[in-house]
Amino acid sequence: MIWITIDRSSHKPMTQQIYEQIRESILHNELQPGERIPSTRELANNIGVSRNIVLEAYDQLIAEGFIYSQPRLGTFVADGSSLRLGRSWTPASMIETCPNQDDTSYIDFRAANPAIDYFPRKVWGQLAKQVCNQASDIIFSYSHPLGLTELRQTLSKYLHRYRGVKCHPDQILITSGATQAFHLISQCFKEQNAEIIMEDPITYEIRNLFISAGYSIYPIPVDQKGMQTHLLPPTTSCKLIFVMPSHQFPMGGVLPIQRRTQLIQYARDTHSFIIEDDYDSEFTYEGSPVPSLQGLDPERVIYIGTFSKILSPGLRIGYAVLPPILTHHFQRQKWLMDRHTSSLEQRILARFLEEGHMERHIRKMKKIYRKRRQTLISSLKQEFPYISILGQATGIHLVADFANVVFTSLLTKQILQEGVKIYPVEDFALQKGGHLKQIVMGYGSLSPEIIKEGVYRLKRAIQSVS
C-alpha cells in the first residue's frame, strides 16, 4: 500500500515530494521488493496532480534502480533496494525531533512535554538568589567534570532511597540532560562497526543519536512487558544494550524480574554494558515504582536519569551513574565535550533536593498528572469505546490501540487539520508493520479541558476520513 501526501504550500516541487516519499517507503521496507505500486495515472488521480508530475518522479526512481516497469503488467519495487532489515536505519527527520516551541496553535499530544507551567518558579528563584549572593567566588570558576560534590552526594542518597540505585557519589556524572549522557556513552564505546542492541519501538532522538555516532542498531521487539529478552541474539559483538525497564518508551511496559535477570546474565556472558534509561518512573500512579535494574548489578549497568520530566527540560540537567571501571574515561570525555555542567544550576538543584522541595514537587505533580491521565483515558473510552490503553500507569504518556483505525499519514494529516498533533507508534518502530493502529499520547502539558477537546477533535478527524 502506498500513501503519498502533497503539501501544496511547500516550496519543494511536487515531483520531488512524490519521489522522496516513495524512496523513503522503499528504503524502510514499507514497500517490499516485488510489490506493485500504482500506475502513474492511478496515483495522479488519487493525489490530484497532473500525470506528468508523477511520471517525472517515477522516471527518477527508475533511473536510480528503486522501481522498474514491466509493459502491460505495471510498476514494481526492485529487489535489493531497501536497507537491510534489523540492522541499520537512517536518522528519522530532524524536523520531527526539533519541535517548534512557538507553535501553540495545536493541541499537541507530544509525549516528552511535562507541565512547564507548574515549574516551581518561586522556590527556584529564591534559591538562585541565595546561591548567587552567598556562594564563594569559586562557584563562578571552572569546576570538576563529574559535577559538584554537594549535588552528587545528595543525588546518591535520593537515588538509593527512591530508585534502589547503589552507588558512591564519585560514580555520578552530572550531564546536560540524559541526551548528553547518551552522547558520552556513544563516544566512549565507539569502535569500528560498533553495534548497539535496542528496544523496538524506540524514540527518534536516541536512535538518531547512536546512528549519527556511527552505530548500527540490532532491534529487539518489545511486548506489553518491555524488551523480549528471549529474542536476544545467542552471540553478539555489541558492547551496549539500551533498555527502559521501568517504563518502556513508547509502549509503557515494565520489565519483569525474570527478564531483568536474563538481561543481566546476558550482559555478563557477552561482556557488554546495559544502558538503563529511567526517564519518568517518579510518576507511578498504581502501586510503587519498580526499583532500578542498576541495583541488581552496579558493575554492568549504566544508569541514566534526567530532571527534564520532574522539573523542566529547559534546565538541561541529567546524570549518569557509572560502573566504577568507566568513571575515569567518562569524566575525561565530559571535560573534552564541555568542561562541566553549569555549577550555579547544579548548586541550586542540590539545595532544591536537600531542602525537600523535590519530594513536595513530585507529590504535587503526581496528583496533576494522575488527573490528566484519567481524563485522557475516560475521554478516549467515551469517544472510542473499542480502544485499549497499553502500558503501565506511569509517566506522562500512554499508548492507545484503536483496533480498527490505521494511522496512515493521510489520517495524521487530517487530524492535524483539526488542530491536533498525535504520534503514531509505527513512526517509532524500526521493523515496520506491527503498530499501525496505535498512537502515543502525552498528557503532561495539557489541561483536562484541552485533553477533552483534543480527543473530541480526534474523533471528528477519524470519522471524516472513514
CB closer to ligand PLP, 247 vs 357 = 247
Using an 8 Å Cβ cutoff, are 321 and 159 in contact?
A: yes
**DSSP tag of 284:** B
CB closer to ligand PLP, 182 vs 402 = 182
Judged by CB under 6 A, how many residues of this single chain contact ligand PLP? 12
Binding of ligand PLP at residue 15 (CB under 6 A)?
A: no
CB closer to ligand PLP, 186 vs 203 = 203
**Alpha-carbon distance 349 to 307, whole Å?**
10
Binding of ligand PLP at residue 312 (CB under 6 A)?
A: no
CB closer to ligand PLP, 277 vs 297 = 277
Binding of ligand PLP at residue 249 (CB under 6 A)?
A: yes
Binding of ligand PLP at residue 178 (CB under 6 A)?
A: yes
Residue sitting closest to ligand PLP (CB): 177
Binding of ligand PLP at residue 179 (CB under 6 A)?
A: yes
Binding of ligand PLP at residue 226 (CB under 6 A)?
A: no
Q: What is the CA radius of gyration of the chain?
A: 24
Which stretch in 173-181, 288-296, 414-422, 458-466 sits in contact with ligand PLP by CB under 6 A?
Answer: 173-181
40-79: buried (b, 16+ CB within 10 Å) or exposed (e) per residue?
beebbeebebeeebbebbbebbeeeebbeeeeeeebbbbe
- CA 174 → CA 131, 209, 278, 320, 322, distances in Å? 19, 19, 15, 7, 11
Binding of ligand PLP at residue 112 (CB under 6 A)?
A: yes
Alpha-carbon torsion (316, 361, 281, 146), positive or negative: positive
Instruction: Establish how many alpha carbons lie within 13 A of residue 352's alpha carbon, considering only the half-sphere containing its beta carbon.
Output: 24
- CA 267 → CA 36, 243, 257, 452, distances in Å? 43, 12, 15, 45
Binding of ligand PLP at residue 60 (CB under 6 A)?
A: no
Residue 114: phi and psi, rounded to 5, are -85, 180
Give the nearest distance from C-beta 321 to ligand PLP in angstroms.
14
CB closer to ligand PLP, 15 vs 392 = 392
Binding of ligand PLP at residue 56 (CB under 6 A)?
A: no
- Cell 519518568, residue located: 280
Give the nearest distance from C-beta 313 to ligand PLP in angstroms.
5
Q: Which of residues 268-287 bind ligand PLP (CB under 6 A)?
A: 277, 279
Q: Which of residues 313-352 bind ligand PLP (CB under 6 A)?
A: 313, 318
Bridge partners (DSSP) of residue 442 are 397
Binding of ligand PLP at residue 308 (CB under 6 A)?
A: yes
Sequence-distant (6+) residues with CB within 8 A of 70 are: 76
Q: Nearest-CA neighbor of 279 among 304, 261, 254?
A: 304
Sequence-distant (6+) residues with CB within 8 A of 181 are: 173, 175, 304, 318, 319, 320
Binding of ligand PLP at residue 391 (CB under 6 A)?
A: no
Choose which of 154, 186, 203, 412 interacts with ligand PLP (CB under 6 A): 203
**Grid coordinates standing for 463?**
470519522
Binding of ligand PLP at residue 143 (CB under 6 A)?
A: no
**Grid coordinates standing for 392?**
503501565
Binding of ligand PLP at residue 445 (CB under 6 A)?
A: no
Give the nearest distance from C-beta 111 to ligand PLP in angstroms.
7
Which stretch in 23-31, 171-179, 208-216, 267-275 sits in contact with ligand PLP by CB under 6 A?
Answer: 171-179
Binding of ligand PLP at residue 395 (CB under 6 A)?
A: no
**Residues forming the site for ligand PLP (CB under 6 A):** 112, 177-179, 203, 249, 277, 279, 306, 308, 313, 318
